Structure 1
Amino acid sequence: MKTKLVVGLYGLAAFSLVACVPLAMAQDRQVVLAGFGGAYDKVIREYWLNPFEEATGIKVVVVPTANSAELRAKVQAMLETGNVTLDIFVDGEMDAEAPSHAERAENIDDFCAQFKGRADLLPGSCKASGVLWGRGATLMTYNKEHFPNGGPKTWAEFWDTEAFPGMRAMPAQPDAWRQLTAALLADGVPIHELYPMDVDRAFKKLDELRPHVGLWWTTGDQTTQGFRNGEYDAGFMWMTRTTALKNEGQPIEWSYDGALLVGDRYAIVKGAPHKAEALELMKFFLDSPEVQGKICEALACMPPSTEALQYMTAEARAKLPTAEQISSKMVVPDAEWINANKAMLIDRWNDWIQN
């Protein structure tokens, strides 16, 4: 009896220990995701991260980052020190095509194989460099109260501060291709002739606008807060932030003429401590058209799944650019040229903005 009792207790203890391990492991499972603060983080938390946590029990920790350049620098520093604490970082589609991206991000080709047969997903929704979060526009906006008869609708009008007086907001990203693109369009360069870019001509055109720029922004939050505070009357900003302002009742309008058609990718940091969980989070996103639809309803992006459109209101879909606008009025940046000339663009921008 003693022997049987001891064995029984030992077996019960062993069973209890084994039973507790998966529970503890489940409680410890998490993903650390880089965010950008403000409306963006609130939207993805409500429509994507919270449902994922409820469905899987995996906790998602969001670490705010000021901007993409700072985020890339942070990831690079983690890799150089061997102290990787982030699992997922966001990179623009342009930057995700650069060779340097592959040095920071895991190749997820094997993960993407499961999505190759998905007819609803746009081409390139999942590729080695990461998962497509969505595509949107960086575009011209204006305060309709300041321009009751209509604000600037083209870059030439944006530059015309006599016909459309007021302060401007412009991006200050050091790779500069956004600012230079707008400048060349304002100077009359046709969309199909933007690349290779005439950098000298673009900076000369920027010289004209510079005295009228009240806000050189590096983060999306700066553009939204600057609009609320009246720091500028017409600006060059992300569609996600434009929509957030519209949804809160701000008097903002926009134009797709000369807008940049760009997207973001979620990438896995090389050596991510929670790579398996990070891939589960990205799979949840691609497998959930409703999640994509709700996010793009709030942030005016074009989701990777065409099925997501059914979860967006007709009003939200109407805010997206039409096929004709995309094909004839919007700029699809030349990633190859921009990445090949990035160092030169950064040097030229830093020299220009500091003098």
Structure 2
Amino acid sequence: MTTFNRRTLLKTGASIGGLAVAGAAIGTPLIAQSRSLKVGSYGGYFENSFKEFVYPEFTAATGITVESVTQPNSADWLVTMQQAVPAGSIPTDISLYGRDSMIKASRIGGLIAPLDISAIPKAENLDGYFVFEGPEGPQGVGAMSWFSAMVVNPNQVDIPASWADFWDTDKFEASLGLSNVHSNGLLDITAATFFDGEETMMSNEGILAILDKVRELKPNVTLWWNAESQMEQGMKNGDVIGGQYYLDVANLMAADGFPIKATFPKEGNLQDYGSWCLTAGSEKSAEAAEFMNYSSDPATQALMSRKIGTAPLVDKAMTDLTDDEFNFVSGSPSIKPAYEAYLDNETFIKESWDKMLAES
């Protein structure tokens, strides 16, 4: 599942292969020499922003030096960890995992360590959904999230109140841009709009019913995109007047004067997130708990929203984010991807999706 393993943020991305590890000690006061922590995160702009804005503040607050480790998307990193952990050569104490990779890791066992959540009291600031419970107890603490949103050209069409409006041919015939990847959210959006959400995704019959509904949408789709740049260009040149796109990128485009408006319809937008996980075999569980605790602080969540462009995992009222700052990266309600369905039934979902797309 590749759904929004997307903090190759803003396409500046980590084109990293295998175990491309770049270490750099950040802000090393003399008092911090005896305590350190290796933290993995996606590379490029994303990692650089952590190194510039987050790690130094953490070191100043705790005296723990951070060594930044570049990791690829969490699915590829999980493969690396399957080799590294049994060999006793772990590259990080903490890694960043999408929920789907956490589920995989917890099922494999022995890759991510259970957490003493009492040592991470600020995790209580997070919605319980973002503290991942594995078979051995808590195994992941939410780090940050990101949204894929409804977007429209406000010069061409009124802002829809519901995703269901995209099925209206009078408004959107041959004018929508949607991802052609089965796991990029249209199934979840359709399930939330017309069915019983994630529950409908849990059976083959439900999946086929959702696909039948997506099939009705096809006359309104002019672009099935597989690269962000395709959707970006379609919105800029007016070929596309609505669709699904990344909230942060859409807002950046709007700030640059392009005719695009991201909005939260009544069903919500698709929200994915990444979590900090403690690597099995790490001897830095105490330092890792301090880092996760620091990350869960509303002030840190606000810092990441401002400096990295991620959505906070705490209620806006707990932060000092302005309405404009919050709306640039987040909103409500949210639609959660059906992670378990994609993992357990990936072949059927992908094959049924590809068959639907290939139909004339």
Deviations 1:32-52 (A, max 9, x none): 4121544x4455444422322
Q: 1:180 to 1:119 in 2, by over 3 A?
A: closer
Please report how far the alpha carbon of residue 88 of structure 1 lies from its aligned counterpart in structure 2 after TM superposition. 3.0
Q: 1:337 to 1:53 in 2, by over 3 A?
A: same
The reply on whether 1:85 has 2:95 as its aligned counterpart is no
Deviations 1:49-100 (A, max 9, x none): 23224443613324153x4433434434544766532443333345534564
Q: 1:227 to 1:313 in 2, by over 3 A?
A: farther
Please report how far the alpha carbon of residue 312 of structure 1 lies from its aligned counterpart in structure 2 after TM superposition. 0.7
1:123 corresponds to: 128
Q: Matched residue of 2:185: which SS?
A: helix
- Equivalent residue runs for 1:32-51 within 5 Å: 32-35=39-42, 37-38=44-45, 40-41=46-47, 43-51=49-57
- Equivalent residue runs for 1:1-355 within 5 Å: 26=33, 29-35=36-42, 37-38=44-45, 40-41=46-47, 43-55=49-61, 56=63, 58-63=65-70, 65=72, 67-79=73-85, 83-93=89-99, 95-97=101-103, 100=106, 103=109, 105-110=111-116, 112-116=117-121, 120-123=125-128, 126=131, 128-144=138-154, 147-150=155-158, 154-160=162-168, 163-164=171-172, 165-166=174-175, 168-170=177-179, 172=181, 176=183, 178-184=185-191, 188-189=194-195, 191=197, 194-196=200-202, 198-207=206-215, 209=218, 212-217=222-227, 233-246=241-254, 250-257=258-265, 258=267, 259-272=269-282, 277-286=287-296, 288-297=297-306, 299=309, 301-304=311-314, 308-309=318-319, 311-317=320-326, 320-322=330-332, 326=333, 330-342=334-346, 344-346=348-350, 348-349=352-353
Please report how far the alpha carbon of residue 252 of structure 1 lies from its aligned counterpart in structure 2 after TM superposition. 2.9
Identity %: 17
Q: 1:227 to 1:277 in 2, by over 3 A?
A: farther
Unaligned runs of 5+ in 2: 1-28, 133-137
Unaligned runs of 5+ in 1: 1-21
Q: Which structure shows the higher helix fraction?
A: 1
Deviations 1:204-245 (A, max 9, x none): 44455396334224xxx7688667876955342343444454
Please report how far the alpha carbon of residue 168 of structure 1 lies from its aligned counterpart in structure 2 after TM superposition. 0.9
Q: Distance in 1 between matches of 2:96 and 2:78?
A: 9
Q: 1:98 to 1:129 in 2, by over 3 A?
A: same
What is the aligned length?
Answer: 315
Normalised TM-score (structure 1) = 0.67
Please report how far the alpha carbon of residue 318 of structure 1 lies from its aligned counterpart in structure 2 after TM superposition. 5.2
Matched letter for residue 34 of structure 1: S
Q: 1:72 to 1:252 in 2, by over 3 A?
A: farther
Instruction: Give the superposed CA RMSD.
Output: 4.3
Q: 1:35 to 1:154 in 2, by over 3 A?
A: same
Q: Distance in 2 between matches of 1:297 and 1:24?
A: 29
Is the 8 Å Cα contact of residues 138 and 238 (structure 1) preserved in structure 2? yes
Is the 8 Å Cα contact of residues 156 and 185 (structure 1) preserved in structure 2? no
Q: Distance in 2 between matches of 1:75 and 1:229?
A: 41
Q: Distance in 1 between matches of 2:127 and 2:49?
A: 22
Normalised TM-score (structure 2) = 0.66
Matched letter for residue 213 of structure 1: L
Q: 1:170 to 1:50 in 2, by over 3 A?
A: farther
Q: 1:280 to 1:60 in 2, by over 3 A?
A: farther
Is the 8 Å Cα contact of residues 120 and 307 (structure 1) preserved in structure 2? no
Q: Distance in 2 between matches of 1:26 and 1:263?
A: 32
Please report how far the alpha carbon of residue 167 of structure 1 lies from its aligned counterpart in structure 2 after TM superposition. 5.1
Q: Distance in 2 between matches of 1:81 and 1:49?
A: 28
Q: Distance in 2 between matches of 1:140 and 1:242?
A: 10
